[in-house]
């Protein structure tokens, strides 16, 4: 079953994505630029863009590039073409100095309004962006989404740590002690961010944290608590595997699942979905295939005899398993829509009718 979220909350229509780094810590797993790393059917870059679009309606993306810029540009351009987004690129000449230098390169391209700033390798729940929209920064400020649940942070040693007082950042650094929350890498900013980055650069600091510390000194860096909302910095092979595990967990399973669905169908459909998301198969094609299996099962029921009845039962069970894959694939590929949900529901009802007819014919024959 394919579902859709409610309409996104109105907010900024532009987002800056930092995609200039090399991502060498993922090289044991992939030799592609980090934004092009695939996670269950989509690249990290496409997942980030789809999440922001789902949460806030953002369609215009400014992507800062550096390492392997030509390849990265081509990929983001392809995403924009397929998804109907607008994308512009900014060459970050000093990208090797740090992510703050990459962000500063976008200064002349964000306009006067607020904008999202995210990393190309951070996966996050759309609710994190929605929380930022509900508590936006004031003039000259920036807001950072933070997670206070230290036990839920995947890589506790690598997380950027934040100390806050009264909702404002007082200190931020990877080795900070003591600390209150982890930096999720999702921000809602105004042009004031660039003031902090520029001041930090003048002092030799070229990381985003350096710029945020400058703003914190002026009480212009705020936090928004998004504890219990999932997020993940996909920076290592271990984090990549964790991303796959979380995505599969979130893609399948519904509160209405009965015991058979929960303990038999759903584990098998998830196993099958892992392969289907890497193929061109669409959710609607999967729905049709499941319906066809049900039709064949109904025909076997009507044939008569216990061998045909057993074969029909096995096919009907397989059809039920495959029927769970269409929604899972749609959610994993971020292509769920109202028509898909309606189409799947209609085919399910026809499949149920054909199976009932086949069983009735078998019983009366």
Residue-wise pLDDT for 149-204, tens only, equals: 999 999 999 999 999 999 999 999 999 999 999 999 999 999 999 999 999 999 99
Question: In this predicted structure, what is the pLDDT of residue 5?
Answer: 46
For the chain, give every domain's residue range: 14-238, 254-364
Tens-digit pLDDT profile for residues 96-128 = 999 999 999 999 999 888 999 999 999 999 999
The arithmetic mean of pLDDT across residues 62-80, rounded, is 96
Task: Please report the pLDDT score of residue 257 as a whole number.
Answer: 67
Q: What is the DSSP letter of 160?
A: P
Q: Which residue would you say has higher pLDDT here, 39 or 112?
A: 39
Residue 51 near residue 85 (C-beta atoms within 8 A): no
- Please, which pLDDT band fits residue 23 given cuts at 50, 70 and 90? confident
Q: Is pLDDT above 80 for 340? A: yes
Local confidence band at 1 (pLDDT 50, 70, 90 cut-offs): very low
Percentage, residues of the chain above pLDDT 90: 82
DSSP symbols for 301-361: HHH-SHHHHHHHHHHHHHHHHHHHHHHHHHHHTT---HHHHHHHHHHHHHHHHHHHHHHHH
Using one digit for the tens of pLDDT, what is the confidence trace for 229-262?
999 999 999 999 999 999 998 887 665 666 777 7
Q: What does the mean pLDDT of the chain come to?
A: 91
Cβ contact 113:14 at 8 Å: yes
Quick one: pLDDT band at residue 2, thresholds 50, 70, 90? very low
Residue 207: pLDDT over 80 = yes
The Cα–Cα gap between 358 and 298 comes to 5
Dist. CA 308–CA 76, nearest whole Å? 52
SS3 (DSSP) at 144: strand
Of 45 and 252, the one with more pLDDT:
45
Question: Which pLDDT score, from 0 to 100, does residue 30 have?
Answer: 72
Statement: the pTM of the whole predicted model exceeds 0.75: yes
Q: Is the pLDDT of residue 65 over 50?
A: yes
Average pLDDT over residues 84-90: 96
Please answer whether residues 345 and 287 qualify as being in contact, where contact means their C-beta atoms are separated by less than 8 angstroms: no
The domain defined by 14-238 folds into Spore Coat Polysaccharide Biosynthesis Protein SpsA; Chain A (3.90.550)
CB 25 within 8 A of CB 124: no
Superfamily of domain 254-364: CDP-alcohol phosphotransferase transmembrane (TM) domain (1.20.120.1760)
pLDDT computed for residue 200 by the predictor = 97
């Amino acid at each position: 079953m394919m579902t859709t979220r409610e309409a996104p909350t109105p907010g900024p229509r532009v987002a800056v994505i930092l995609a200039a780094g090399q991502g060498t810590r993922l090289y044991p797993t992939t030799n592609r630029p980090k934004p092009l790393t695939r996670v269950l059917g989509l690249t990290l870059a496409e997942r980030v863009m789809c999440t922001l679009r789902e949460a806030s309606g953002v369609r215009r993306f400014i992507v800062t590039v550096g390492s392997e810029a030509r390849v990265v540009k081509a990929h983001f351009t392809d995403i924009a073409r397929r998804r109907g987004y607008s994308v512009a690129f900014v060459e970050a000449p000093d990208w090797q100095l740090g992510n703050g230098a990459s962000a500063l390169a976008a200064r002349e391209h964000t306009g006067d309004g607020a904008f999202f700033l995210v990393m190309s390798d951070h996966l996050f729940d759309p609710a994190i962006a929605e929380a930022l929209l509900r508590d936006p920064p004031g003039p000259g400020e920036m807001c950072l989404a933070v997670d206070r649940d230290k036990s839920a942070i995947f890589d506790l040693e690598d997380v950027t740590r934040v100390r806050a007082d009264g909702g404002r950042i007082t200190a931020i650094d990877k080795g900070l002690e003591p600390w209150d929350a982890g930096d999720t890498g999702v921000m809602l900013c105004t042009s004031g961010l660039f003031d902090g980055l520029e001041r930090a650069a003048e002092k030799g600091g070229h990381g985003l944290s350096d710029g945020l510390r400058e703003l914190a000194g002026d009480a212009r860096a705020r936090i928004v608590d998004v504890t219990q909302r999932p997020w993940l910095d996909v920076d290592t092979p271990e984090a990549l595997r964790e991303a796959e595990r979380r995505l599969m967990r979130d893609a399948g399973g519904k509160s209405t699942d009965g015991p058979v669905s929960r303990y038999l169908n759903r584990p098998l459909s998830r196993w099958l979905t892992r392969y289907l998301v890497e193929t061109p198969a669409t959710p609607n094609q999967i729905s049709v295939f499941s319906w066809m299996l049900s039709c064949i099962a109904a025909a076997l029921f009507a044939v008569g005899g216990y061998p045909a009845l057993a074969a029909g039962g096995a096919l009907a069970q397989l059809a039920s398993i495959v029927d769970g894959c269409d929604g899972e694939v749609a959610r994993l590929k971020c292509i769920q829509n109202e028509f898909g949900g309606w189409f799947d529901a209609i085919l399910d009802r026809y499949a149920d009718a054909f199976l009932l007819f086949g069983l009735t014919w078998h019983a009366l024959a």
